[in-house]
Amino acid sequence: MAIIITGGTGKTSSRIARISLDAKIPFLIASRKGQDGVPSGMPAVKFDWFDPTTFENPFQYKFANGENITAVYLVHPGQGDPKDFMNPFIDIAFKKYGVHKFVLLAGSTITNGGYFMGQVWKHLFELQVEHNILLATWFMENFTEWLHPTSIKQENKFYTACGDGKIPFVSADDIAASAFHCLTGTKPHQGYRILGPELLTMDEAAAKISKALGRTIRHVKLPDEESTKRFQEFGLAEDRAKFMTGLETGTAAGAEGNFGAGSVRELIGRPPMTFDEWAQKNKNAWN
């Protein structure tokens, strides 16, 4: 058994690599940076979703004990229509190299055959290959590793168009643990909602970060256009910035608030981390 982890050095992929290393499960990180960009002791190859000449690199890698690649973790790179590049890669992995299991990270509102990652889910379904789709809500790590840490540190504020929408925030640790169990075990081929244990608004998340930090952090509610502008300033292309604003305004309208308990406990055998536990553990990121 060996697993390929796309999404390189990203929030969930880096954690799956760490869990795999600790569990002594052979793995390979597929990153734009190749071996140079990953922590020492972690094997990696150069892989770029927008350069198909790199798609076979993971399959050329020789594992120490000749292990075969049995499963692939699929992460969207943050731009582009996923069916255009993920489906061709899945075809190579499945048809040419015999990979029989795929675990796909997607957003919580994705459906089989629906928009965006729904077209990758549909492709896996039609290939009749083993697949687990992780339908994740907003990550807690957006406050520490992505959108919000700089403004929290510099202005004691973060900005969203999520309004007062409720969100079952989940930690990347719990997503990674869920993914690891899917990659290395046998779970029914279906979508799993990957959610945290409590519904919170962004204002309530700000209050919890404030409590952990001992200083007041404020959530600033943005109108749509301001949100798109902010995403663009953050480096996203205009279409992706509008897409992300759509996710935030969908959240404001209640899109994340009605999913029930989610599947983390079922997948990993323990409850997901609460926001308070997570904020306490990660508070140094805001100092």
10 binds ligand NAP (CB under 6 A): yes
By CB under 6 A, the residues from 20 to 79 that bind ligand NAP are 31-33, 37, 47-50, 75-78
Q: Please give the single-letter amino acid code of residue 117.
A: M
Q: What is the DSSP letter of 191?
A: E
Q: Is 267 exposed, middle or buried (0-12, 13-18, 19+ CB in 10 A)?
A: buried
Our CB check for ligand NAP shows the closer of 5 and 25 to be 5
Our CB check for ligand NAP shows the closer of 8 and 168 to be 8
From 105, 212, 252, 279, residue interacting with ligand NAP (rule: CB under 6 A): 105
From 136, 176, 177, 202, residue interacting with ligand NAP (rule: CB under 6 A): 136
**x-or-dash string of contact with ligand NAP, 224-263, rule CB under 6 A:** ----------------------------------------
CB of 212 to ligand NAP, least distance (A): 19
8 A C-beta contact, residue 107 and residue 177: no
The per-residue b/e assignment along 222-235, b for 16 or more CB within 10 angstroms, e otherwise, is beeeebbebbbeee
Half-sphere exposure of residue 193: CA atoms within 13 angstroms, side-chain side? 17
In this structure, the dihedral spanned by the alpha carbons of residues 71, 77, 81 and 82, taken in order and rounded to 10 degrees, is: 0
CB of 209 to ligand NAP, least distance (A): 16
8 A C-beta contact, residue 219 and residue 158: yes
CB of 5 to ligand NAP, least distance (A): 10
Provide the binding-site residues for ligand NAP, judged by CB under 6 A: 7-13, 31-33, 37, 47-50, 75-78, 105, 107, 136, 138-139, 142, 146
